[in-house]
Amino acid sequence: MSQPSIKTTFTETMGIKYPIIAAPMFLVSNEAMVVAVSEYGGLGTVPSLNYRPPEAFASAIKKIKSKTNKPIGVNLIVNKSNTRFPTDLKASLNHGVDCFITSLGNPKTTIKDAHKNGAKVFCDVTNLEHALKVQDLGADAVIAVCSGAGGHAGPISPFALIPWLSKELDIPVIAAGGIADGTTMAASLALGAQAVSVGTRFIACHEAGVTDDYKQAVIDASPEDIVMTEKVSGTPAAVINTDFVKKQGLKLNWAVKTLKNNSYTKKFVVPLIHLAGMKSLEKAATKMSWKSVWSAGQSVGLVEKKLSCDEIMEKMINEYYQCMERLPS
């Protein structure tokens, strides 16, 4: 049975029941996940780069919109290395995407064009400096990517980053990193967040189109199995410490690092590192391989079995209300 709505600034802005975003995960998020989470009352999202070529992305958004009239979101990489950005932004706007999550770059164009369409823009940030910049550009909220998150995790504890940003900003803060159940959601809202972005818990859902090996690795892993590697994108990213990750090491070799940090060679080397990292993630996520590079956050310790998206949402919301009842009055 569905629980009462949880009202926050975020849910009222988006017109949804629960302040839960199914985070857009490279190679993991898909149409079925977006539809299920949005239909349940959360916000389903997907990265545009999960679809190739760009026409496949446009087709996927059209398909999602045909299956739900609830709000949905798209993640766009907005730095210059993503040559698809203008095409994917246009397709999203043409098909009525309700919100955008921007990563790794300047969101100015996305904010301007999205607002013309009545869509919202939430920007990934890891510090106050970047948060203030995107607020000045007109962002509707920031996603505070804290330590413990999967992918490109920030260095600051959620116990510091969320209340700090909430105090210093005039726009809502969305918590990301280490959230996989109702207790961690309640803690995030208590810290001042208006919503939570949940990634790792949704990797081990029935709808995710990744291998059972990847899903089982998330279930079996503990927080101590999560390490930060530079080998995926050149920037430290959180992955499960598989035998292959141990073998290849966590740091870029000195020659690649030197080229990456050189102002003349950086613009050529960084896209190549990104491309190689994306290929390794794709290989591990979509077929059995001894070269296992699986992105995940420290909340793997809270993931005990595969569930459907509906079951994950129901479980989180029930646990949230149980947690609120347990708190000292």
Name the pLDDT band for 83 (thresholds 50, 70, 90): confident
Angle at 191 between CA 187 and CA 195, to 5 degrees: 75
Model pLDDT for residues 141-190, shown as the tens digit of each residue:
999 999 999 988 889 999 999 999 999 999 999 999 999 999 999 999 99
Q: What pLDDT does 263 receive? A: 58
Q: What pLDDT does 63 receive? A: 95
Considering Cα of 62, then 140, then 41, then 45, what sign does the dihedral take? Answer: positive
| 237-262 core/surface letters (b: 16 or more CB in 10 A; e: else) | bbbbbbebbeeeeeebeeebeebbee
Model pLDDT for residues 139-149, shown as the tens digit of each residue:
999 999 999 99
Name the pLDDT band for 293 (thresholds 50, 70, 90): confident
Q: What is the dihedral of CA 58, 60, 61, 67, to 10 degrees?
A: 150
Residue 141 and residue 217 in one domain: no
Is 232 within a domain?
Answer: yes
Is 116 within a domain?
Answer: yes
Is 93 within a domain?
Answer: yes
Is 1 within a domain?
Answer: no
Is 4 within a domain?
Answer: no
Is 18 within a domain?
Answer: yes
CATH no. for residue 74? 3.20.20.70
Beta bridge partners of 141: 122
Ranges assigned E (strand) in the chain: 20-22, 43-47, 72-77, 99-103, 120-125, 141-145, 173-176, 195-198, 226-229, 237-240
**Domain assignment of residue 61, given as a range:** 9-209+303-326
Number of domains in the chain: 2
pTM beyond 0.85, yes or no: yes
Residue 105 and residue 202 in one domain: yes
Is 280 within a domain?
Answer: yes
Q: What pLDDT does 78 receive? A: 85
| Gyration radius (Cα) of the chain, Å | 19
Q: Give the three-class secondary structure for 122.
A: strand
Model pLDDT for residues 212-271, shown as the tens digit of each residue:
999 999 999 999 999 988 766 657 789 999 888 887 776 554 444 443 455 545 444 445
Residue 148 and residue 51 in one domain: yes
| 102-124 core/surface letters (b: 16 or more CB in 10 A; e: else) | bbbbebbbbbebbeeeebbbbbb
